[in-house]
Structure 1
Amino acid sequence: MTIKLDSTRISTVVKCSECPWWAAFADSKLEGWTVGARHDSLVHGGSKQSTDALSWTKQHAE
């Protein structure tokens, strides 16, 4: 399972490879990974991919 972000300067779309019917919108990549990690936790029982990406994004946020 993979969470993917499609980001522009003003918005981010969050998608899950196992849930083609699910999508979320965020204002930033940080918010996008937060939403993705929450989806992983609630629907898929947690995934290291999205929590690792969230952690990395927090460390490298401007």
Structure 2
Amino acid sequence: GHSGHGTFARVIESMSDGMDMLPIVTKRITLDEVPENIVMLRDDRRESKITCVDFD
């Protein structure tokens, strides 16, 4: 086997069942900030946890 097999499907199912995802959001960015944050993800793996785009 390999690590993480089935993880994505379980996360999606948990979200569908109403799991509150807000506690795991570490940063919110605007659509305009996406390019610079993509560079940060590439250059600093510590920044690779979660990136969300705020559409409000």
* Structure with more helix by fraction: 2
Greater CA radius of gyration, 1 or 2? Answer: 2
Q: Please tell me the TM-score bracket, short chain as reference.
A: under 0.3
TM-score by length of 1: 0.24
* Structure with more strand by fraction: 1
Indicate the structure whose relative CO is greater, using CA pairs within 8 Å and at least 6 residues apart. 2
TM-score by length of 2: 0.26
